[in-house]
Amino acid sequence: MQNLINRSLNTAQNLYFCKVYFLFFLIISVVLGFLPVTTFAHKYSNQKETYPAHKKDFLPEESTLFPFKRQFINVTDYFTEDNLKFDINTNPHGIFTSDDNDTSTTADANARKELIELKRQHKKSLISYIDVGNPDADPIVLFHGIPTSSFEWREIISTLAEHGRVIAFDQLGQGYSSKHRSLTYTYKQQLAYTEAFFSALQLDQKKVTIVATDTGGSLGFAYAMRHPEQIKGIAFFETVFGPVPSLDRMTKQAQVFRSPEGNKKIITENTFIKNLIDHSSEIIPPNDTPFTIREFTAEETRSYKHPYLNKKHRRVLAQWVMEIPFMGGSHDGFGDTNIDIWGKFAAYLMTSPVPKLYLFAEPGVLNTIDTTHFVIDNFNTEGSLNWVNLGLGYHFLQEDYPEQIGQEIVDWYQNLP
């Protein structure tokens, strides 16, 4: 009996010392960084919580080409019915206008529900961004296009940062922002993420200058229309000003991508990236112009392509093409739910006295000579438009004229009221 008691005591002592050793190891491991520390308080609810970048996600050369610290912010908490659903009386700023019982092709109720479900399931949705320059200055926010990311602003950020606070973010599903299998990646979801990002960084309490290109213009213009009192100025180039008149008025490349087979190849064969990035300075049928004057370096090409190496991460690019609306409705039904927003871009830019800077090149791709004449003739409300002809150029003007574009924006920005 005494032996049994002694063995029990020895076992208890061994367990006690094991616990002590384990606690000692745990403390040392945390201090030395061997084990991660997880904070459970407000794990999902704090939309201002920021997260460090995972170095394994980035290419080694990107630290040289894009020498800015990436940050991540969780925006899921913004996705509530009160923020998202339109109601003429209680929430006229709601983005999603469809009634839940509307099953037409123009309905956007499902897209709204997909966002709300992210919040219900406590899923983090992180926006990747950089924030440099004077933190007390009014922010200059850069909106990228497709099939790119904030990487396309790398040559311009440093110039602007010497004169203010510069923020460049990766839109939903693009660059290093979160990818969600449960989201359709509709245009209105992209706009909701833009609103959520501005809210999370409290940019909605600042006077903001928007700089936008390509499809980024559709988000920048929409934000400006929805918050006119907050906008300090808008600079734009090679972008969109409203619904496309008809399919044959799209670029030849976009016409192919809008077809079922062509759209599928964006995902399966990576055609969007290959045509616009791998062969940017070449004329690849069905295009009749290149997209840059100079050829991208091997390092630039890898950095542009890296976020989209996985097929499932290209789905957002394919969806963006389908989200472009047509005047009077599209032939395939896609994009019709966006007419109510896109249809107001030109009217806003024609009537608003907000300072504007339009940069263009000839012959351009999205902004052809005819488009440029329209902009100059109609957007100069109360002398609010400045315009600059960069010379020969196609689509990625920030790649061919980074120094000039940066300096033109700085010169214009410094004279804003």
Domain region containing 154: 69-413
Does residue 52 form part of some domain? no
Query: Residue 88 half-sphere exposure, CB side, CA atoms within 13 Å?
Result: 2
Q: Which two tokens stand for residue 335?
A: 């994009």
**How does DSSP classify residue 275?**
I
- The reply to whether 51 falls in a domain is no
* CA-closest candidate to residue 321, choices 219, 253, 415, 379: 253
- Indicate the number of domains in the chain: 1
Q: From residue 159, give the alpha-carbon distance in Å to each of 155, 317, 410.
A: 8, 29, 8
Task: Report yes or no on 209 lying in a domain.
Answer: yes
Q: Which amino acid is located at 323 in the chain?
A: E
Any domain includes 23: no
Residues 6+ away with beta carbon under 8 Å from 245: 326, 327
Instruction: Assess whether the previous peptide bond of 363 is cis (omega < 30° from 0).
Output: yes
Inside any domain, residue 20? no
Q: Please choose, from the candidates 272, 269, 268, 274, the residue with its C-alpha nearest in 3D space to the C-alpha of residue 321.
A: 272
Assigned domain for 132 exists:
yes
Residue 147, preceding peptide bond in cis (omega within 30° of 0): yes
CATH of the domain at 95: 3.40.50.1820
Say how far apart CA 1 and CA 349 lie, in whole Å.
93
The token pair that represents 197 in the structure block: 């990002």
Answer yes or no: is 9 within a domain: no
Q: Is residue 205 part of a domain?
A: yes
C-alpha separations of 395 from 143, 226, 245, 365 in Å:
15, 27, 20, 5
* One pLDDT digit (tens) per residue for the chain, 417 residues: 444 444 444 544 444 444 444 444 333 333 333 333 222 222 222 234 455 444 456 666 566 899 999 999 999 999 999 999 998 888 989 999 988 888 877 789 999 999 999 999 999 999 999 999 999 999 999 999 999 999 999 999 999 999 999 999 999 999 999 999 999 999 999 999 999 999 999 999 999 999 999 999 999 999 999 999 999 999 999 999 999 999 999 999 999 999 999 999 999 999 999 999 999 999 998 889 999 999 999 999 999 999 999 999 999 999 999 999 999 999 888 999 999 999 999 999 999 999 999 999 999 999 999 999 999 999 999 999 999 999 999 999 999 999 999 999 999 999 999
25 φ/ψ angles, rounded to the nearest 5 degrees = -65, -40
